[in-house]
Amino acid sequence: MVMENETKNFIEQIIDKDLAEGVYDHVQTRFPPEPNGYLHIGHAKSILLNYGLAQKYQGKFNMRFDDTNPTKEKSEFVESIKEDVAWLGADWEDRLFFASDYFETMYECAVLLIKKGKAFVCDLTAEQIREYRGTLTEPGKNSPYRDRSIEENLELFENMKKGLYKDGEKVLRAKIDMASPNINMRDPVIYRVAHMSHHNTGDAWCIYPMYDFAHPIEDAVEHVTHSVCTLEFEDHRPLYNWVVQECEFDHPPKQIEFAKLYLKNVVTGKRYIKKLVEDGIVDGWDDPRLVSISGLRRRGYTPESIRMFVEMAGVSKSNSTCEMPMLEYCIREDLKMKRPRMMAVLHPLKLVIDNYPEDQVEYMEVQNNQENPDLGVRKVPFCKELYIEQEDFMEVPVKKYFRLYPGNEVRLMNGYFVTCTDIVKDEDGNVIEVHCTYDPETRSGNGFTGRKVKGTIHWVSARHAVKAEVRLYENIVDEERGVYNDEDGSLNLNPNSLVVLKECYLEPNLAEAAAPESFQFVRNGYFCVDSKDSSPKHLVFNRIVSLKSSFKIEQK
């Protein structure tokens, strides 16, 4: 279990101080995704962090789409992001905002900057602007257009807005300091011309604000107090502060950076996930092998497990990497007590009990979860012909093999002891049927205290079982070779990342299972009904995670 950590993280310490000093009288956070892809596990950290802070300080949490760049944004992404954030439990109530709704305000802020002599229209090309910018070791050069009069700038900016210029012909730049050691402060571009339709504002605008200008305004307009973002924006903070100050916002927001969540050997970045989707390597953004939120959901992860993971990962200012086994640990922990433990055979082998009456069926009463009696009991049919796992039988047993082999006796879980008496092979010599006899005295739950057996195996009744497809997953990349190919930067794909088992047999209690239900299949792991492909006629299950863990939680 995760211990409640009494010490506050560095962001909470900043907030405490701000509240104590009266810098702010409330706490307001936001999650500001750009709708240019689906969310992933890294975003979950940002969502739960921002939402959690608002909760903790009885503040407000805004859901805001940072949709100021029409080139890559789509409504499909807006819808998926809303679904994912809601699913994670971050409730924005009626506080759903779109940065594009503030285009007018941003425009007015730009005009204000021009009037204050703090912004100018520049005719340099993108390439020239880059050349003039200088480097980390050399200062930049002033643009020859830097000293245009306020009147001229106002007129040219108005013309930009009216659509008199082609894309890239003119930009509006903040007038700050071309010699600043921080390159972000060297007269950054704040508006550009782009003749493009926007998913929200259509053709109303042909000038669009740049991120570094738009973002602080969005925060300020919404009265955000603590604008939490990731470390790569640290160098942008002086510009953030410059914008909110020069645009004269009261109680301006404060930017705080934290370290991104990285998962070792896992494809996390939106850009990389997008490429896997576009190249058809995965079955869409919600492929269960992806750590997109929708992929994790389809894989059977719960919001609780993701919350536990994010809490264990913690909030810090220095980059660190988490391991996938930690996430797997969290879903096992979450499902352990909550889900019934069912019997399902993934690689079937027929087992025939020769001395069991042909037409007899017994209904074995089985506890749904041995560790949680609250989940109740169910009945599982038992009869003469069963399926067991192929790996639970060996014709010639290896050392320490305690399961079924000729002459050996094992326990059928929730059933009887059986002893293997004979086998049937096909023409190729494969064992296709195992014969045994059972001892009627040994029925499970009947208080049999006679001899002991070392092996217990699970089974399903051949006559009653329901057939299902089961999908087993591994990492989409080959961990041995690392995520990226050294030569060309492509992904090192794992050819076994998806294994489809077409003929699995499940106990009949699973016949009506439907997404998002999930179960433990005893000895095989946790499985969920696939939300996309499963139907009552053709059940499809995804393995969420196996039962064995390679992750050790450090106990204090």
**Distance between CA atoms of 541 and 529, rounded to whole angstroms?**
4
Q: What are phi and psi of 31, to 5 degrees?
A: -115, 120
* Binding status of residue 230 toward ligand ATP by CB under 6 A: yes
Pick 56 or 271: Cβ nearer ligand ATP: 271
* Binding status of residue 229 toward ligand ATP by CB under 6 A: yes
Pick 42 or 52: Cβ nearer ligand ATP: 42
Pick 46 or 542: Cβ nearer ligand ATP: 46
* Binding status of residue 307 toward ligand ATP by CB under 6 A: no
User: ω before 238 within 30° of 0 (cis)?
Assistant: no
* Binding status of residue 195 toward ligand ATP by CB under 6 A: no
Closest CB 457 distance from ligand ATP, rounded Å: 43
CA angle 344–350–352, rounded 5-degree value: 115
Pick 32 or 525: Cβ nearer ligand ATP: 32
Contact pattern from residue 446 through residue 465 relative to ligand ATP, giving x for each residue in contact according to CB under 6 A and a dash for the rest: --------------------
In this structure, the strands spanning 344-345 and 341-342 are unpaired
Site for ligand ATP in 143-172 (CB under 6 A): none
Among 219, 211, 212, which Cα is nearest to 176's?
212
CA angle 291–293–298, rounded 5-degree value: 85
Among 11, 27, 28, 42, binds ligand ATP (CB under 6 A): 42
* Binding status of residue 46 toward ligand ATP by CB under 6 A: yes
What's at 117, amino acid-wise? G
Stretch of residues binding ligand ATP (CB under 6 A), selected from 5-13, 41-49, 181-189, 242-250: 41-49
Among 15, 27, 29, 43, binds ligand ATP (CB under 6 A): 43
Q: Which two tokens stand for residue 76?
A: 């499909």
Cβ distance 118 to 332 under 8 Å? no
In the bound complex, which residue of the shown chain has the CB atom lying closest to ligand ATP?
42
Pick 96 or 179: Cβ nearer ligand ATP: 96
Place of tokens 């405490």: 16
Cβ distance 547 to 524 under 8 Å? yes
Stretch of residues binding ligand ATP (CB under 6 A), selected from 2-10, 40-48, 156-164, 378-386: 40-48
**Distance between CA atoms of 67 and 78, rounded to whole angstroms?**
9
Q: Please give the helix or strand (H or E) that residue 505 lies within, else none.
A: strand 498-506
* Binding status of residue 299 toward ligand ATP by CB under 6 A: no
Q: What order of strands is seen across the sheet that includes strand 417-425?
A: 456-457, 409-412, 417-425, 431-439, 348-353, 385-389, 460-461
Site for ligand ATP in 258-297 (CB under 6 A): 260-261, 269-271
* Binding status of residue 300 toward ligand ATP by CB under 6 A: no
Q: Which two tokens stand for residue 116?
A: 């204050």
Name the site residues for ligand ATP (rule: CB under 6 A): 32-34, 42-43, 45-46, 229-230, 260-261, 269-271
